[in-house]
Structure 1
Amino acid sequence: MSATPGAPDPSGSGGGAVRPGVAVVFATVGDVALLIFGLGMTSLITDESVIATPGLGQSPGAVAVTASVGAFALSLFTVVRRRDPSFVSALWVGLATALAYLAALWVTVLLVGAGLGTATAVSARVATTGFGAVVVGAALVSGWAGIALVRTRSARPRWSWEEEDDA
């Protein structure tokens, strides 16, 4: 179904007006922006660092964000390449993104030399505070937006005098 009756589908994919790959790129950029903004604002409001354990450096956070963005893009692509993807799938995108963030954080804290207990405590703290909610929330919002880009079958706005009269 296209935006204008009889007009060809601009995406050529049978879906909405935006190709799945393009929708994933836009949604991923949105996820990164919301994630960085959300983590920064949560840190500012709570006056706490995302990773409060001293001596770990910045690599655990950077690797966790990178892994979550990769998981977001991959999971969203598997959703939007289907015909008429469900908005409920955004929940799975959010879950995959959060799990990738926490797993990468845990592994990276271990790799920088902290013990198993420290890695578990850091990951559990992030998962159970507002920081974890930000990771999930950014992925949910961005995933929903990516799905909407593919599902929406709208055209550009048109003034009434732009309509062609075939009469």
Structure 2
Amino acid sequence: MTDHEGGAGVRPALAVVLAAAADLALVVFGLGMTSLALDEDVIAVPDLGQLPGVLGVAFSVLAFAGALLVGVRRPRPTYWSAPVTAAAAFLAYLAGVGLGALSVASPGEAASAVGMLATSWFGAVIAGAALVCGWAGVALVRTRAHRPKWPWEDEY
């Protein structure tokens, strides 16, 4: 995972995979807890089914991974990649929900679902999870730490 000799950080591709998995986990947890706390459905438009939500999360995680990969492949990645990654994930979530809603509802209902998500705590959860995980992905690549060692593992 790391280059133990030079102390280089995690490889960019691995950092993106780890950060994307964490983003997915935080999104699912965050949307569920926000729904529970607010006593509201994530997508409050009736009769849309699960497809818009599934497409929204899938688009969001894919956009997150793509944007983060671009950011961490630079020679010295910057933490400014995290807000860009969060914006990409948020916009892709809205696009996925919109496309999913259009496949089962009228354009007005799809626009209503997207508008509600864009201006609610649920949208903030998507952006916040992507921001935190994007920052962590950049940190994994930038870190120059060595692997953990026990005291008796001194090099000879």
Counterpart in the other structure of 1:31 = 23
What is the Cα deviation at residue 36 of structure 1?
0.1
Structure index of larger Rg: 1
**Residue in 2 that maps onto 1:126:** 117
Q: How does 1:106-125 map to 2 (within 5 A)?
A: 106-112=98-104, 114-125=105-116
* Counterpart mapping for 1:1-167 below 5 A: 7-8=5-6, 16-112=8-104, 114-158=105-149, 162-164=153-155
Task: Specify the alignment match of 1:13 in structure 2.
Answer: none
What is the percentage of aligned positions where both structures have the same residue?
52
**1:76-114: CA deviation from partner (whole Å, max 9, x where unpaired):** 1111111111111100000000000001111211111x2
> How far apart are 1:150 and its partner, in Å?
0.3
1:39, 1:50 within 8 Å by CA — same for their partners in 2?
yes
- 1:164, 1:72 → 2: CA distance? 40
Shift of 1:160: 6.0
1:38 alignment partner AA: G
Amino acid at match of 1:24: V
Q: Which sections of structure 1, spanning at least 5 residues, go unmatched?
A: 10-15
Aligned residues, how many?
Answer: 155
Q: Give the residue type in structure 2 aligned to 1:82.
A: R
**When the two structures are superposed, what TM-score results if normalisation uses the length of structure 1?**
0.86
* Contact 2:45–2:112 (Cα < 8 Å) also in 1: no
Report the Cα distance in structure 2 between the residues aligned to 1:94 and 1:158, rounded to whole angstroms: 35
**Residue identity matched to 2:114:** S
- Show structure 2 runs of 5+ residues with no match: none
Instruction: Tell me, in whole angstroms, the C-alpha distance in 1 between the residues paired with 2:62 and 2:76.
Output: 23
TM-score (norm 2): 0.92
